Copies of this chain bind each other. A is one copy, B any other.
Amino acid sequence: MRDVARAVGRSPMTVSRALRGDETVSVKTRALISKTAADLGYVYDSTAQAFRTQKSGFVAVTLPSINNANFAETFRGLSTGLEASGIQLLLGSTNYQVEKENELVRQLLARKPEALIVTGGYHLPETRSLLENAHVPVIETWDLPPDPLGSVVGFSNENAMTDVVQHLHDQGRRRIAFIGAAAGRDMRGTARRDGVVAAAQRLGLPDVAIVDAGQAPVSMRQGVDAIKRLGKNIAEFDALICVSDPVAFGVLSECKRMSVNVPEDIAVTGFGNFDVAMVSNPQITTVDVHANEIGRKIAEVLLDVIDGNTQPRHIDVGSQLVLGETS
């Protein structure tokens, strides 16, 4: 910056202002400085800026898994929403482990993010106190935690499942199995399971069977494997509620191979309204949770927060049953 200043015969201070587009620098000086900086191949040092201003200019995001079309869609909405602001996204993946989330949050906080976006509403007590003491705006997402740390942009996994169970009940299905990850890791999956169990109970249906599809993240292959393991026992059920669309797709595919007819013999539902649900043949009944909208709303809340608005916001984007051909 000093070099640029010398080259244009101005002080570094003026250069600093000019490069940030400060209006108090005269238009021609600004133009000259921009040009000179470019000519000299000067690269602005954001680290020094972050240090001096105590504002890092990025937002930290924790995702359970990067390889998940749903979170990816939220992330995309978020990126798009933040694009104009020049805010960058620092990403970390927790692999669905709260212990790892804790470590990750610690690392991310040390970088003084403008805000922290965490997926899910369940955290270790240690993580909670870290976040509470950090005085960094927190946005929880993909959930509606009972006791939020700050802002929330999400939906109720339980309620979403209530709609699914109600729908299956309306179709005359009674013997329901839920296929999802082993309990304890994927908290949103667990919430969905609980939602199913509770809804079935309220509707007077028999107890819901829980089919363990292995460790989160569960995907297509685990759906296949779960059905393989079920084998003939699949005849005990007339509806399979899957924790996500990929699982449902795997289930559907394996049913076909086993000559189990969907939806005649058994209904199958997914979650998330991924492309695969619509493109699949038959189309999978699923739940749209507005993943992209969540991302865009997060961006909105974020820009608001960075603007100095400290009032936490709670946004329920809701969810919507999407009827397909599998139920």
| Partner-B contacts on A (CB < 8 A) | 41, 43-48, 50-51, 54, 56, 58, 65-69, 72-73, 75-76, 79, 86, 88-93, 106-112, 133-134, 219-221, 223-224, 246, 249-250, 253, 256-257, 275-276, 278-281
A selection of 11 A-B contacts at a CB cut-off of 8 Å is A66-B76, A72-B72, A88-B111, A90-B91, A221-B279, A223-B279, A224-B279, A246-B275, A249-B276, A253-B281, A257-B281
User: Inside 8 A of A109's CB, which chain B residues have their CB?
Assistant: 43
User: Inside 8 A of A46's CB, which chain B residues have their CB?
Assistant: 107, 110-112
**Least Cβ distance of A277 to chain B in Å?**
10
User: Inside 8 A of A256's CB, which chain B residues have their CB?
Assistant: 281
User: Inside 8 A of A246's CB, which chain B residues have their CB?
Assistant: 275
User: Inside 8 A of A90's CB, which chain B residues have their CB?
Assistant: 58, 88-91
The docked-state distance in angstroms from the alpha carbon of A3 to that of B152 is: 35
Residue of B nearest to A133 (CB): B41
Q: Is the CB of A93 within 8 A of B76?
A: yes
Q: Is the CB of A91 within 8 A of B93?
A: no
**Least Cβ distance of A104 to chain B in Å?**
9
User: Inside 8 A of A223's CB, which chain B residues have their CB?
Assistant: 279
**Least Cβ distance of A271 to chain B in Å?**
17
**Least Cβ distance of A122 to chain B in Å?**
22
Q: Is the CB of B110 within 8 A of A44?
A: yes
Residue of B nearest to A93 (CB): B79
**Least Cβ distance of A207 to chain B in Å?**
29
**Least Cβ distance of A78 to chain B in Å?**
10
Q: Which among B58, B67, B93, B108 is the interface contact of A73 at CB below 8 angstroms?
A: B67
The docked-state distance in angstroms from the alpha carbon of A34 to that of B195 is: 43
**Least Cβ distance of A244 to chain B in Å?**
12
The docked-state distance in angstroms from the alpha carbon of A276 to that of B223 is: 12
Q: Which among B72, B73, B220 is the interface contact of A275 at CB below 8 angstroms?
A: B220
**Least Cβ distance of A137 to chain B in Å?**
16
User: Inside 8 A of A51's CB, which chain B residues have their CB?
Assistant: 47-48, 50-51
